[in-house]
Structure 1
Amino acid sequence: MALNNLRIGARPWAHLTPLGSGVTIGGRAVDFSPLATTPRIWDEPDLDVAETSLSVYVRARAEGDHSITGLPIFVMRGFRQRCILVPADSPLETPADLAGRRVGLTGWPDSGNTWTRELLTNEGVDLDAIEWFLGPLTPDAPQFDRTGGFPVGPNVRTLEVGDGLATALARGQLDAIMTPFMPPGFYTDGSLRTLQRDSQGAEEDYFQQRRYIPGMHLITVKSALLDQQPELAQSLTDAFEAAKVTNARVRNKLQDAFPWHDQELARTAAVFGADWLPYGWPGDQPMVTDFQAALQAQGLLPAPVPDNELFPHPVAPTTSKEYAA
C-alpha cells in the first residue's frame, strides 16, 4: 500500500526549495509548503515535518512534551553581532556599551535574541539593568505577544500598538535594537549601522572561538510518524542535505545574487570550510550545549535537556563538501 505524502512546511530558504521539485523521502512523495512565517508544528494538523524555533523546541522538551521530535538539521543559522543596530552617529561601539541602556528587541524568548543577549552577558553586562522594549521591527509587522508568555521583569516593556523598534530608535527613545532582519533602508540610507563597526570581523573572531555559526531553527517531526517509520530520521537528513547541495550547484553556476558573488563564496569557504551549514550529530553538540546554557542563564530554561532526549533518533552527520565551495 502506498504511503501518504510527507507534508513539509518551512520558510522558502533557497537551500530548501529543491524539496518542492518532486522528491521522495523514505518512500513518500513530498508536499513542500513554502510559508511566510515559521510554523508552529504543534498547531498544524496539515504538517508532518516543519521548521521550528530551537528555543521553542528545547523548552517544550524541558516541559515533558515529546509529541514533536527534533532532528539536527539546522536550516537557519546566523551570527548575531550584525543584529545589534544603532544610529549611525551613536557613540556606542561594543556589546559592553549597552550596559544600562534602552534596547529594543523583537521577542523575548526567541532563539536569535537569546544568542544576541549572550553576546552582552559574555562581556559582563547585567541584563536586568537594561531597559528592554519589545515590539515589531516596523509598525506594519504582525502584532502579537512578544513575551512568549513568560513573566518578565519591570525592566521589560512593550511598545505601544502601532509603533515599531526602528521608528523608536530613530526618534531617540531607544539606544539600540536587536533584530534578525534589517529594517527598510538599512543598506541604502546610512542612518543606521551595526553596533560593532566591523561586525564581520567580530563574527569571524566568534567563529574561531566557538567553531560554529549559531543555529536558530531546526527541523522537527511529529513523533508519532517517527514511531511508525524510525528510518525516516536519516532519510530526512539525507534529503535536506541533497536539497542543499542541489541549491549550491545552481547558485554557483547562476551567479546573479550580487555582483561579487564568486568572491564572497571563496571568502566563506576560506573561513568556514566547504560547508558552513552542516547537518547531523555530534557536530552541533557544542552549539546546542551553549544555547541551553544561555537559556538557563537568562531564566528561560530550568535545566538543560539531555542530548538523548533532544535528539532521540541518531542520524549520521552529513558529508557535503559542496555548499560553500
Structure 2
Amino acid sequence: MTKLTLSLAIGDYDRARPLIDGRVQVDGVDLVPSVLSPEETFFRAFRHAEFDICELSFSSYTVKTSRDDCPYIAIPAYPSRAFRHTSLYVRKDRIKRPEDLKGKRIGLPEYQLTANVWGRAILADFGVMPSDVTWVRGGLEQPGRPEKIALNLPPEIKIEQAPADKSISQLLSEGDIDGILTPRMPSCNLTDPNVGWLFEDPTAAATEYYKRTGIFPIMHVVGVRKSLADAHPWLPGALFKGFQQAKALALDLLADTSATKVTLPFVEEQLVRAKELMGDDYWSYGIEPARPTLDAFLKHHHAQGLSSRLMAPEELFHPATHEAFSV
C-alpha cells in the first residue's frame, strides 16, 4: 500500500516528539511535521484548515462541532492537559478569595479559550458564575486580539473590549481590572507586588480539586481533516495508535531517572506524587478513562454559552477511536 503523506502541526511536547522525529511511525502514513505554538496552530487550523492533522483547542473544536461546521474530527489523544488554578491572577490588595470576584472586572485574551472554560468552572465551584463578572477582552501583552472564531453568547454574559492602546496585563497592573484569566503568566505578575495568583498554593488547590472530582482538565485534542477520515476510514484509528505509542515512549523515558530527561529538579518526586494521586495512567488517552473530565467540560462549556447544545463525549471523536482492541 502506498503511504499517505500528511502534514502534522503539533507542539514540541515529549509525548508528541516520537512522532515528530520518526521514532514512532503511524501505520500507512508518512508525516510531515511542523512544530508550532498552540496560538499559531489554532489560528491557521480554524481560519483556513491548513493542516491534515493538528493539535486543536478543545474549546474551539467543541464550539464548531456543536454547530456542525468543523473541518476536523478529533481522536481522543490529549497532547495538553493542565490544572488551571494557576491561570487566575488578581489584585492581591483587593481580592482575597474567589468569592470576592463577584461583580468585578476580569481580563482575558479570548472568552472561548479552553483554559478559560476551566478557569470559569473553578470559579463556579465558589459560586462565581460567568454572568457575575464583567469580562474585559484584549491582548495579554500586546493591545488587541480577536477571538479565533465568532461567538454567539447569551445576553447575560457581559464582555467589554480593552482600550485599543492597552494590554490586559497593563490594565491589571494599573488597577483598571481586578483579575486576569489566562493560560500564560502575565508579565505584571513578575513586576507588580500587588498582582499574584488567586490561589496562594495552586498545587494544593488543584490536588484537592482532583481528589474531589477526579477531573484532570483536557486543553487540546488532535484533529484529522474530515475529508481524509471519510476517504480513509482506517486513518483515525492508526493516528490514535501512533499517539498512544508516542506517549508511552515519553513516559518510559521520564521514568528512567538515571539521567533526568527534564531540565527541572525533583522530577522523580513529582512523578511518584502524580502516580500516588492519579494512578499509573495519570495522563490517560481515550474516552472512558477521561469521561469525568469530558462530561464536566461539556457541561461547563454549554453553561458558559459557548456550545449551542449540550454534547456527549462520543460526538466529539471519530467512531473508530471509541474502543480499542484487546489481546
Query: TM-score, normalising length from structure 2?
Result: 0.87
* CA distance in structure 1 between the aligned counterparts of 2:325 and 2:271, rounded to whole angstroms: 20
Residue 234 (structure 1) aligns with: 237
Kindly provide the amino acid, as one letter, of the partner of residue 86 in structure 2: R
* CA distance in structure 2 between the aligned counterparts of 1:194 and 1:145, rounded to whole angstroms: 25
Question: Which runs of 5 or more residues in structure 1 are unaligned?
Answer: 320-325
Cα drift, residue 117 of structure 1? 1.0
Residue 118 (structure 2) aligns with: 115
Residue 30 (structure 2) aligns with: 29
Alignment of 1:200 onto 2:206? no
- C-alpha distance after superposition, 1:78-107 (max 9, x if no partner): 1121110124x4342332221011111121
Residue 56 (structure 1) aligns with: 60
Cα drift, residue 317 of structure 1? 5.8
Cα drift, residue 149 of structure 1? 2.3
3-state SS in 2 of match to 1:284 = helix
**2:95 maps to which of 88, 92, 101:** 92
The structure with more helix, counted as a fraction of residues: 2
Cα drift, residue 305 of structure 1? 2.5
Cα drift, residue 42 of structure 1? 4.9
3-state SS in 2 of match to 1:133 = strand
Say if 1:317 and 1:189 are closer, same or farther in 2 by CA, change over 3 A: farther
Residue 65 (structure 1) aligns with: 69
* CA distance in structure 1 between the aligned counterparts of 2:161 and 2:98, rounded to whole angstroms: 22
Question: Which runs of 5 or more residues in structure 2 are unaligned?
Answer: none
3-state SS in 2 of match to 1:47 = coil
8 A contact 1:81–1:116 mirrored in 2: yes
Residue 127 (structure 1) aligns with: 130
Residue 138 (structure 1) aligns with: 141
8 A contact 1:96–1:123 mirrored in 2: yes
**1:83 maps to which of 79, 87, 92:** 87
Cα drift, residue 2 of structure 1? 1.8
Residue 4 (structure 1) aligns with: 4
| Paired residues for 1:145-160 under 5 Å | 145-146=146-147, 148-151=149-152, 155-160=158-163
| Paired residues for 1:13-24 under 5 Å | 13-22=13-22, 23-24=24-25
Say if 1:277 and 1:302 are closer, same or farther in 2 by CA, change over 3 A: same
Residue 293 (structure 2) aligns with: 287
- C-alpha distance after superposition, 1:199-219 (max 9, x if no partner): 211111111122121112100
3-state SS in 1 of match to 2:95 = coil
- C-alpha distance after superposition, 1:170-217 (max 9, x if no partner): 111111111101134746986532101122111111111221211121
